[in-house]
Structure 1
Amino acid sequence: MCTVSYIPKGSGYILTSNRDESPLRVTYSPEEKELKNGTKIIAPIDSEKGGTWIATDGANKTACIMNGGFIKHKRQLPYRKSRGHIIYEAFSSETFGTFADNTDLCNIEPFTLVLVDENKLSVLIWDGKEKHIQSLDSSKKHLWSSSTLYTREDHAKKMNYFQEFLRLNESDPENLLKLHGLYNDNLFVLDQPHVKTVSTTQVVVSNGESDLCYREKVYDHEKKELLY
């Protein structure tokens, strides 16, 4: 939910997401979920709230949500519903654009939602009071960090690392997993006492088809460390 990269690739794109969460929180491996309107998506599911932070429809559409808007906010509990259900609502709408324009976010905790539909890339940022919809250039590389866990200085360092890594390495799926610190810790990996990078999820879209790869980091509760 906390570090997301987007890389355009010919007839598609690669979207990779690191989830920073309590290592004690259980997540179910990706599964197909049919929404109320009949749309089918593939997503890992959070066991506690039943939501997700990333999903694809098996074709061109992908959605990924991060905690926080532009700046770190002070929580004002209770909220009306979990942000993990926002992605379901996005896929239940006729289009992502329709969802962004019409969704009611009153009393929802701030978030940043990346929405990709074929060659359209947009970001919906909810700051707790207003919606901000950004249309981005889908032919360019992008990187986002959650404002609840990373400062602007943290993000700037990650951006520099991101750009240098892509300058020196081919931006294929495996290298992007390395960039996100799947095998070795780097600036993309969070390691705090109660919040850590617990998994990396990657959606690869090519020629109108998508594939979702979900990789967990194994946490040793006795040693209180991540095992790779």
Structure 2
Amino acid sequence: MCTASWSAGQGRLSLYFNRDERKTRSAARPPECLQIDGTRMLAAIDPDGGGTWLAVSEWGLCVFLLNHYGAEAAFGKALENPTSRGKLPLRYASIPSRGEAARRLKDEDLTSYHPFLLVLADCKGTEAFSWDGAELASLALPRAFLTTSSFRTREVQSYRISRYDALLGERDSLSEKSRRSLHLDTPHPDPAFNPMMLRADARTQSVSRVELDLHRACLRYQRVLDETRTLGEERGASLDLRSLSSR
């Protein structure tokens, strides 16, 4: 139940991420600078699981995660002692390069995780993966956009993709203004379909924005105020990246 859109390349990464969650889930802590495996990184922390959906590190690596609801339906079993998927962005953002992070992910035993979609992103591009509960596969993304929903999964995904494509038009990528507009989008009469989502049991909890260049990373975060689908005060954190010679 999340939506991400981004632009990556030519020394810059810009990312928006809507985190959708159950209404019973605790509010996340705003972004802070953490030290994980000797690496400084920015992340907002989910106090229920101790993990996050999005992290960006001093190596210039951004890792974000979405639940893979289509695969979960096919997977059809509950793991006895599942490992929190929210730990993955923290662990993989601590790795010095996107290529090395991809290699380690391919070698990891993921059988204790429920299905997920994971994207490794930096200022040069992205690499995406799909874990269906049995196999990790590279995920080809035809657009710089990814969205999931546990409710009427295919219909909701199709609608949100159509909104992205309509804003994109003939351009190569969305402008900053268009990307923000997409993530605050609420035109569908059924609010469960919108990127800024609202259902009886769940809603968009926050909108996060990452700005990354070759020297600095910033993570901005705004909570969605209850069921109003309006944004609260922006909170954020930033860090300087390691020198290019050390990456």
Q: TM-score range by the shorter chain?
A: 0.7 to 0.9
SS across alignment from 1:212: strand
Q: How many residues align?
A: 217
Q: Does 1:151 align with 2:153?
A: yes
Whole-Å separation in 2 of the counterparts to 1:172 and 1:11: 16
**Which of the numbers 104, 112, 119 marks the counterpart of 1:107?**
112
TM-score by length of 2: 0.78
For 1:20, the equivalent position in structure 2 comes to 20
Task: Tell whether 2:176 aligns with 1:173.
Answer: yes
Distance, in Å, in 2 between the alignment partners of 1:15 and 1:175 is: 12
Q: CA RMSD in A?
A: 2.5
Paired letter, 1:53: W
2:134 matched to 1:129? Answer: yes
User: What secondary structure does 1:163 align onto?
Assistant: helix
Identity %: 24
Query: What's the offset of the Cα at 1:72?
Result: 4.1
**After the TM superposition, which of the residue ranges 140-149 and 208-217 deviates more from structure 2?**
140-149
Give the conservation status (yes or no) of the 8 Å contact 1:58–1:211: no
TM-score (normalizing by structure 1): 0.84
CA contact (8 A) 1:53 1:65 kept: yes
Q: Deviations over 1:95-153 (max 9, x none)?
A: 322222222211211100011133141112110011112366xxx84211125345223
Aligned to 2:235: none
Give the equivalent residue in structure 2 for 1:200.
207
Q: 1 CA distance for matches of 2:152 and 2:92?
A: 26
- Cα distance in structure 2, aligned partners of 1:227 and 1:189: 7
Question: Which residue identity is paired with 1:115?
Answer: L
User: Residues of 1 paired with 2:155 and 2:48: CA distance?
Assistant: 32
Q: Is the 8 A contact 1:56 1:210 kept in 2?
A: yes
Task: Rate the CA distance shift 1:214–1:168 in 2: closer, same or farther, 3 A.
Answer: farther
Match of 1:76 in 2: 78
Paired residues for 1:182-197 under 5 Å: 185-186=186-187, 187-197=194-204
Q: Which residue matches 2:242?
A: none
CA contact (8 A) 2:198 2:204 kept: yes
Q: Which amino acid aligns with 1:162?
A: Y
Closer, same or farther: CA 79–149 of 1 in aligned 2, 3 Å? farther
